[in-house]
Amino acid sequence: MQPVDFTTLTAAGNEIRDRWLPARSEQVYQRDRYTIAIALRTLKERGWLEICWHPQAAHFCIGSPPPRTPDTFTFSQQLLHQLNGLALVAIAQVAPWERVFDLQFARRPGEDALWHLYVEIMGKYSNVILTDASGAIVTAAHQVSQQQSSVRPIQTGQPYELPPSLGGAIPTLEESQARWQERVSLVPQELARCLLKNYRGLSPALVQSMVRVARLDPEQSTDSLNAADWDSLFSRWQEWLQALDKGKFSPGWTTKGYTVLGWEVATPAKDVQDLLNRYYTDELNQQEFQQLSNQLSQKLKNILDKLHLKANTFKERLEQSDRADVFRQHADLLMANLQQWQPGMKEIVLADFDTNAPIAIALEPEKNAVQNAQKLYKQAGKLKRARGAVEPLLAEVQAEVDYLEQVENAIAQIDKYQTAEDLETLVEIREELIAQKYLADPEYARRDNPDSSTNFHRYRTPSGFEVLIGRNNQQNDRLTFRLANDYDLWFHAQEIPGSHVLLRLEPGTVAEQADLQYTADLAAYYSRSCQSDAVPIVYTQPKHVYKPKGAKPGLAIYKHERILWGQPRQGEKYLVAT
């Protein structure tokens, strides 16, 4: 993940100053443990200033509105108590080449600041600190005790101190090329490393880009450069400093990340705010997606392994109970042939009632024939009673396996992050598993909005009918039991875990065979048998689909169904076409 450097921070700060100052502070919302959003209102517009102190993605920019869920964080409540209704009157860099901004809040523009919100964008040392007008710390996103840092503790009531000064020379436009070249090449090393080591305000991403646009290799040694190489590199160096001096930036997307200098741009960006908001939202979403996907997949695997083991144990006990009839048959034979028993016998061979085939029956020599027969009757009864007890338990375990395999299939359908909807789908799956008591996460606040699951997969059939596909069990239930109407058609893989699929039809319209096959192909692709050549797909009217009482999310029974054979590979082609 590309960290925010001094250049990017300067560009972001310049844009916010030009467009959003002065602005009234109306709300403070904390998205997560690393991010707050401050609602700002100017005479022309309203927006959210996002400040993030994540160790890998620290940044600040105008971002997206926060979700409508309760904010339970103390830090944001403390900020709201002090800053609500005040005017953001200034955003100042506290010192040259420092990645620290001072956001100043006053009662109205032109008055002295009552509160200072220091935003420190410094990688793993990033922080957000609120002080009063005298500089005393009122609250901080991350407090640092004396034991954690003797250099710069950060605690409530103490005076605010700036971070220790950076090493390296300060870059200036007045420095001559000869002096600059002498400083960079004093100790021959890799070119990129020499620039980073000798000057402040640089970042690895900036240096790498600067060297590449100068048509040089960042890893080549400084003693391998000729005069033309130094001229080219110094030209880019000056270009960078002039952009900082004039405050003119060209934000854009590169193949490796982003830039605000217009170097190696593959796609221009709207502005720096949009660039930073999109980049870090996507990067953090992707990181959370991967962690959550691994967590859920591993948890489901562990649970399913235990359930399969339990199911196999029950099946073995049922197989044993199948011998109940054998024990009873042996007991009947023994009772019918008591005259053939002799004291001390360990085994007796008797003819089968129906086939006359010889059957060997093990006996206990210390018991007589009747006692041995009674023991066999007792074993037969015990095994029959075991079947009555085990069968419901096996059915219960199998229902649980079916449900969890449905969840597992939903996760498998989103194996990589592409949009924010993919993360939202996984979050809904986690909520569902928490609600079903498969996950315990006391720090996670479950949402109470059942109508939020609307990010279905959407497609169009050859005739233009809409096809909706659930991405998890919550969406499957919403699709089938809340959204579907009497004119639609409901599709699902037959006795195979998979998504609920809805073919939306208007009153009086009839789906052509091509539409039905198109939908069946998609239902096959979004099922557990997506690697098969063909999958049996049932379809029926939604009024014929029911949820059994007490059934887990995503499970349903149906009747009056018809069957089509869906082709998963064909369904995959529809995705590409879409």
How far is the C-alpha of 309 from the C-alpha of 299, rounded, in Å?
A: 16
pLDDT band (50, 70, 90) for residue 441? low
Looking at every residue in the chain, the average pLDDT score rounds to: 91
Name which of 328, 305, 209, 190 is nearest 264 in CA terms: 209
pLDDT band (50, 70, 90) for residue 326? confident
pLDDT for residue 454: 73
Q: Is the pLDDT of residue 20 over 70?
A: yes
Helix (H, G, I), strand (E, B) or coil at 140: strand
pLDDT for residue 446: 46
pTM of model > 0.85:
no
pLDDT band (50, 70, 90) for residue 458? very high
Strand spans (E) along 248-292:
252-253, 258-259, 267-268
pLDDT for residue 447: 46
Helix (H, G, I), strand (E, B) or coil at 199: strand
**What average pLDDT does this structure show over 102-110?**
95
Residue 67 CB neighbours (<10 A): 12
Least confident of 63-67, 324-328, 566-570: 324-328
pLDDT tens digits along 63-88: 999 988 888 899 999 999 999 999 99
CATH number of the domain at 6-140, out of 3.40.1010.10, 2.30.310.10, 3.40.30.10, 2.40.30.30? 2.30.310.10
Break the chain into its structural domains and give their ranges: 6-140, 177-269, 450-577
pLDDT band (50, 70, 90) for residue 320? confident
How far is the C-alpha of 297 from the C-alpha of 407, rounded, in Å?
A: 9
How far is the C-alpha of 413 from the C-alpha of 528, rounded, in Å?
A: 9
**What average pLDDT does this structure show over 271-278?**
96
The percentage of the chain sitting over the pLDDT mark of 90, rounded to a whole number, equals 71
pLDDT for residue 442: 56
**What average pLDDT does this structure show over 419-438?**
90
pLDDT for residue 356: 86
pLDDT tens digits along 144-157: 888 888 788 999 99
